[in-house]
Structure 1
Amino acid sequence: MSGTSFLLLMVIMDNVASISFEIRQFGPSTVELPSGEVRGLLVTFKDSHWTPVEVYRGLHYGSLGNEGSSFNTQWNKTMSANRWANVCPQVDIGGVNSLKDLLKVLPRVRVIRLYHRSNYTKDQMEDCLALNVFLPSRDWTDTTPFAVMVFVHGESYEIGTGNAYDGSVLASYGDVIVITINYRLGVLGFLNTGHSTAQGNQALMDILAVLQWVQDNIRAFNGDPNKVTLFGHGHGAALVNILTFSSLTEQGKYFQRAVIQSGSALSPWAVSYDAHSCAQWLARNVNCSSFTNDIEGLTKCLRSRSAQDLVNSSPAAPKYHSCMAPSPNPYGEIFRAPVEKLMKESRNTFTSIPVIFGVTSSEAYMYLKQKELTDGISEQRKSQIIRTFVLNNFQYNRQKIFDILYHQYTSWDTVQTEFTRRDNILQLLSDGLYVAPLVKMAQEHSLSTDTYFYAFTHATVSDTAQYHNWTSAVHGDELAYIFGAPLVEGVTPFSDKFTPQEKVISQTMMRYWTNFAKTGDPNKPDGELTFEQKLRSDPGWPKYNRSEQSFLHFGSNTTVSSHYRGKELSLWLDLIPKLNKPAKPNPDPREHELRDQNNMASFDEPHRLITNFKKIFPPHPPIPPPTLPPVPDTHYPNGDPTYSNPKTKREDPLEQIKPPAEERPEQQSGLSNSVPLSITVAIGCSLLFVNILLFSAVYYQRRRIQRLNREAIEQEQNDDNDFPDIGQKPQKENSASKEPPDRDSSVDPQSKPNIQSNPLYTVISKTPCDLAQESSHESLSTLSCASSGVNQKNAVNHKSGVVPALPRDCPVIQKDNIPNSKYAANSSLSKEKMNNVRNSTTTHDTITVV
């Protein structure tokens, strides 16, 4: 830059330093919306070179509605959009916790920023879905449509509001429409019970409803619906990133560019650690745990609690993770799968629009206490923080990963002090929680379309006084420069103490951001350069890719660099992912534990370890949702701050927790019952087949035993004198063996118990008469036993395998009654045959008992 140009630039900066603005009660013009006229406020600047801005506050884009309320679809008079809308229910930082208490757990700068934003969160209401429009004023003859920039705030998923961000300076300087929004937070924005009627991600649906409102209404503000840039910071950046993967955004239908600052969908905190467990812990915190598996009862119980009770009872997630946050839902379309899986899809908004990615040098400063930032940290404290980080973020080879991180983030080229260890820990947490996930996302995006990357490292001078021996940009520092706070005094929620150098940085960043909103290229403005722009010599912002990895560095000077933190990122993107995998199937978890893992004193906040965060109730089976419209109509076709349409009203998050819709009961019953019914039928058929096989085997074996016994009896009858060595000696006739059938049936104390009536007895043991009777059924004539008075001692002795002779009182099948051929066969039985009979009888015993 020449000396003359430099002097002219300094004159401009001197004028900029004196700029301030004032707000008039009403603007000079109105905006005609489909349902009526709306009038906003007018913001003017003392410097005549700055364009006035019309501000329309509290325009409702959706309504949670109230039962029994009546709403008008139109109004006859001009509505005044001069008041901020109520913010969504959240923890009141300014009223509940004192600054002294917050300083015990958070850095001073973080507490001050939250406190400034809390001034805009005092008026809370569930019906909070509103936005604010910052519109540059133009001569009525200029009809060129404005590019639109929609900002998604992101202090956390629990707190925040778009009302706190004044877009007047950015709109005036960049000649774009700026929109800030409110969306549901915490429990009301992300509750996911695992049931089809409580799928979570309400906040994502709110942002999508904002984009639909823009498509329907922005032309009334002379905005271009085909030049919409969605930009978010921190948790808001993660929401923007997730929406780029949503099938509902239809490849750039709702927004055509995106800026993702200091956060991404791959960060550990970006997605709920375990949405169902978080819902269970919430139920316990508000005394609704008895309804955990009863969705209707849970709905009634939660509705009986106030919104403030719910947001104040949100459970704490494991450290470095989130609880009430976006969660993948296979039955939904807004966020239907894990981010890693969505990144592999080739057709979505993410792969079809240009994106700017960016980080600051110390993103994770809020994870350290003010005392640790001021005084540094000890060796023991460093070990505690790294051990907790490793345990909560990795599953395998934890001790190896700990050793690598501890070694990598140690300053070996200088003396180890409390401050060097502090800086090492800040870099480790920043790289692991913010930088590495965002760089991985940028590298993936660069494979498809234009990608730009920046690193903001300038520490605001007025903020560095809050630290000792440390000058580094922290999470959120760049927002003040993007919204133009250094140029104009009183831009909320930022400080008003900036140096002349910081004013230059702010102008440079606003030019890049608004150029990108207009053309998709931060280097190309839309139209001719102004005189002031010609004086500037902004470096060209190169595109980012995997090989060169060029990026823009916003520091004391704006320069082009490459391979941001390349050495450290190679560790996070290459080595650690390889270590965080099992070396074999079904590994033993004990092999991957940290050394001395059961020592809770060796961890930071041990109550927030993942080992202590488990489901407290058994989950109920998930139920597929009914067929629903892809995008619920949650927007208004107008900008009335008080308008609500009963036909398109937005259900509140608790109202959405209801039994499955009854529109298609046959579909639900079929889906839920078909699988169990199929399993039952398959098991029944298998058991039937097995029973048939067993019955056939038993029946065949029994017939075989009967045949062998029959042959043995016949042989005994006809050839009892030929084989004296295989049976009992023939019994002599006596009077006892020929007692008449009607003799006294009293039980002899010396005799064995009568067990013939037992069904098992008929299988295990048969009397000789029975055997003879069975044999006679297959002979030419049918014979019967004379009486049942056969002594038990004549029964077949199965233990020994001996077959007794036929008793005298039982009719004998004579040789004359049997055909000669059969008699010949029976008479030819050998001694070996009789041994087979013994063996068969023993086999019979074994099979029958089993």
Structure 2
Amino acid sequence: MTTHGRRTSVAALMCALATTHCAGSGDSTPSNDEASPELVRTDAGPVRGAIHDEHRLFQGIPYAAPPVGPLRWRAPEPAAPWTEPRDATRPGSPCPQAPTAYSPIGSVDEDCLTLDVTTPRSVDPERLRPVMVWLHGGGEATGAGSVFDARRLAVGGDVVVVTINFRLGIFGFFGYPGLDGSGTFGLQDQQAALRWVQRNIAAFGGDPGNVTLFGESWGAFAASAQLTSPDAAGLFHRVALQSGFALADYPAGTFYPGLPALPPFWSPAAEVQATGEALASEQGWVEPASETDVALERLRGAPVDELLPHTARFVMPAFGGAVLPESPAEALRAGRFHRVPVLSGATQDEGRLFVALFYELAGASVTEQRYRELLAEAFGEAAEQVEARYPIDAYGSPALAWAAVITDRVWWRATHEQSLSLAAHTPVYAFEFADRDAPAAVPAPEGFPLGAHHASDVVYLLDFVGEPSGLAPEQQRLSQQMIACWSQFARAGDPSRPDLPPWPQFRGDDAQYVQSLAPGDGGIRNVDVVAEHQLDFWSTL
């Protein structure tokens, strides 16, 4: 199997009255109406959202044309304009995806390039608010911006929040010889959404000159890509990265048993194109030796349900083209990225979620013998050194010891390196989410505490639609503090506020210290993550 095959296994004046259609006005300038705050005019047409006690919500707004038929696997095109107020009280469809053990969403609808806007209820045309654009996680094969409820962040932080749906998997990152933009269509969707924000967000009370791009997991990974994309220049002014992995590589067995060692999740365009060509031939979608135009026409006609089973082979952006001229990993290390302030961090126990899902809950429990086997598979002759640093007795079980190895070697080694690379050129504020009693993202296996696991920080900023956060009183206080920090960062490029514990910039001789975020008095404080996650040890292997 090729390296790429191994890697892929795994966003005019408004009509004065709501009944007015604005047809024939001749003015398409996006605008807001103080008398009718539920009605906003975008550059494509007016939208009518919903007004709640403390916030306004506009859902399912098209930021690009549906990428269907001849527009499949093309750069996003402008949405068709409309004249009558468009209902914006329901979310748009998630992009095509199959349900998984960690995401119940299923969709076969390619008409999915929509976004939602959440704002505080008050409208002040003289004071535009900071804008925060959310990129969801999900391994680039699952998820949707529309499943996130941003009211707490918008109201508590006094910001405008935009959540977006973008093409995923085989629909977002497919490649084929001669296909312009191979492996980057999902990234291009995100850029189209950011351009929509530049053109329209002032009508919703947001400041297009103060946009923060933030994301978690694959969303943070994508935000790192946008940091290095020439086409994204000027589209955002700060970036917040939560549990991203732009610089991570993966020892064998990192995510699930039998997975070989993997390099960083960036693919040369030629590899993505070769994978697409081989798949098209295997499935009989394309006749042998077909001309490129003929082959692409046939591929664009393939049914969604025939393509979806192969989506996991296309979950990594391709570099070597206009969108990503070089691997973002190399660009970030070399300092070739947009100079914007960055908030960057990870959770204290990142790896526990993966060990819980793909080992303990999957019937492949990590026993003492299996722990040593995993260390040997991952680290070869250095396995004994790793075991000496991560003895089972120190963690309470072989599974927790293996989770600690994954956390430190994969997530924290890469997170710290990325923060160092960024901090050499731009202000960085680093953090560790450390609430080990955070609500669980999956059922906790017996005797296996999930701790501050991967994605456990999300509900401290955003809710899932229809689901309570499950936060206890002290955790609610931490959530309010984190919302204050993230929104202050969006407002000023620095998360520090007089009413919160000081948050020093990550730099110089103190680059091993990051802000720990945990509940309770003294829960927000500086900690030495180099010592906590044994990064000096990992730098020697």
Place the TM-score, normalised by the shorter chain, in its bin.
Answer: 0.7 to 0.9
1:441 pairs with 2:407? no
Give the corresponding residue for 1:353: 340
Contact 1:143 1:222 in 2 (8 A): no
1:305 pairs with 2:318? no
Amino acid paired to 2:279 = L
Give the corresponding residue for 1:715: none
Distance in 2, Cα, partners of 1:128 & 1:359: 30
What do residues 135-174 of structure 1 show as CA deviations (whole Å, max 9, x unaligned)?
212255x620010000000111111100100111211111
Amino acid paired to 2:115 = L
1:539 pairs with 2:501? yes
Distance in 2, Cα, partners of 1:245 & 1:161: 23
Give the corresponding residue for 2:87: 80
Distance in 2, Cα, partners of 1:429 & 1:278: 29
Distance in 1, Cα, partners of 2:358 & 2:170: 32
Give the corresponding residue for 1:282: 279
Distance in 2, Cα, partners of 1:499 & 1:290: 59
SS of the aligned residue for 1:334 comes to: coil
Alpha carbons of structure 1 residues 192 and 371: separation in structure 2 relative to 1, 3 Å:
closer
Amino acid paired to 2:502 = G
Query: Which of 463, 468, 482 is the equivalent residue of 2:461?
Result: 482
Give the corresponding residue for 2:109: 125
What does 1:640-659 align with in structure 2 at a 5 Å threshold? none
Contact 1:275 1:324 in 2 (8 A): no
Alpha carbons of structure 1 residues 135 and 239: separation in structure 2 relative to 1, 3 Å:
same
SS of the aligned residue for 1:337 comes to: coil
What does 1:784-823 align with in structure 2 at a 5 Å threshold? none
C-alpha displacement of 1:475: 0.7
Alpha carbons of structure 1 residues 479 and 461: separation in structure 2 relative to 1, 3 Å:
closer
Alpha carbons of structure 1 residues 509 and 72: separation in structure 2 relative to 1, 3 Å:
closer
1:152 pairs with 2:150? no
What do residues 190-219 of structure 1 show as CA deviations (whole Å, max 9, x unaligned)?
112354535211111111111111111111
Contact 1:164 1:492 in 2 (8 A): yes
Give the corresponding residue for 1:732: none
What do residues 301-360 of structure 1 show as CA deviations (whole Å, max 9, x unaligned)?
4234212211212355xxxxxx5311211xx221111234313555531xx111011111
Amino acid paired to 1:313 = H
Amino acid paired to 1:271 = W
What does 1:699-848 align with in structure 2 at a 5 Å threshold? none
Alpha carbons of structure 1 residues 280 and 493: separation in structure 2 relative to 1, 3 Å:
farther
C-alpha displacement of 1:129: 0.8
What do residues 711-740 of structure 1 show as CA deviations (whole Å, max 9, x unaligned)?
xxxxxxxxxxxxxxxxxxxxxxxxxxxxxx
Give the corresponding residue for 1:424: 401
Contact 1:460 1:498 in 2 (8 A): no
- 4+ aligned runs moved over 6 Å, structure 1: none
Give the corresponding residue for 2:6: none
286-295 or 361-370: which moved more?
286-295
Give the corresponding residue for 1:343: 332
Alpha carbons of structure 1 residues 436 and 132: separation in structure 2 relative to 1, 3 Å:
same
User: Higher strand fraction: Structure 1 or Structure 2?
Assistant: 2
What do residues 489-537 of structure 1 show as CA deviations (whole Å, max 9, x unaligned)?
xx5265443211111111110000001111111114xxxxxxxxx8xx5
Give the corresponding residue for 2:26: none
Query: Which of 138, 142, 161 is the equivalent residue of 2:122?
Result: 138
Distance in 2, Cα, partners of 1:388 & 1:287: 37
Distance in 2, Cα, partners of 1:205 & 1:508: 33
Amino acid paired to 2:58 = Y
Amino acid paired to 1:382 = Y
Distance in 2, Cα, partners of 1:285 & 1:68: 23
Give the corresponding residue for 1:37: 46
C-alpha displacement of 1:377: 2.0
What does 1:477-556 align with in structure 2 at a 5 Å threshold? 477-483=456-462, 485=463, 492=465, 494-524=467-497, 537-549=499-511, 550-556=513-519
Query: Which of 367, 378, 385 is the equivalent residue of 1:378?
Result: 367
Query: Which of 148, 153, 163 is the equivalent residue of 1:170?
Result: 153
Distance in 2, Cα, partners of 1:500 & 1:288: 56
User: Higher helix fraction: Structure 1 or Structure 2?
Assistant: 1
Give the corresponding residue for 1:258: 239
1:466 pairs with 2:444? yes
Amino acid paired to 1:504 = R
C-alpha displacement of 1:538: 2.1
334-343 or 232-241: which moved more?
334-343
Gaps of 5+ in 1: 1-25, 45-51, 94-101, 103-110, 317-322, 391-398, 486-490, 525-533, 577-850
Contact 1:191 1:198 in 2 (8 A): no
Structure of larger gyration radius? 1
Contact 1:283 1:292 in 2 (8 A): no
Alpha carbons of structure 1 residues 198 and 213: separation in structure 2 relative to 1, 3 Å:
closer
C-alpha displacement of 1:405: 3.0
Gaps of 5+ in 2: 1-34, 72-77, 250-263
Contact 2:501 2:525 in 1 (8 A): yes
Give the corresponding residue for 1:599: none
SS of the aligned residue for 2:215 comes to: strand
SS of the aligned residue for 2:213 comes to: strand
What's the Cα RMSD here?
3.0
Query: Which of 306, 310, 314 is the equivalent residue of 2:311?
Result: 314
Amino acid paired to 2:503 = W
1:365 pairs with 2:360? no
TM-score, normalized by length of structure 1? 0.52
Give the corresponding residue for 1:830: none
What do residues 107-138 of structure 1 show as CA deviations (whole Å, max 9, x unaligned)?
xxxx4xx23xx2xx44x421211100002122
Give the corresponding residue for 1:61: 63
Amino acid paired to 2:310 = S
Contact 1:285 1:313 in 2 (8 A): no
Distance in 1, Cα, partners of 2:237 & 2:353: 33
C-alpha displacement of 1:78: 2.1
Aligned residues: 477
1:271 pairs with 2:266? yes
Alpha carbons of structure 1 residues 36 and 556: separation in structure 2 relative to 1, 3 Å:
closer
TM-score, normalized by length of structure 2? 0.80
Distance in 1, Cα, partners of 2:394 & 2:139: 37
Contact 2:177 2:292 in 1 (8 A): no
Distance in 2, Cα, partners of 1:407 & 1:344: 31
Distance in 1, Cα, partners of 2:372 & 2:277: 32
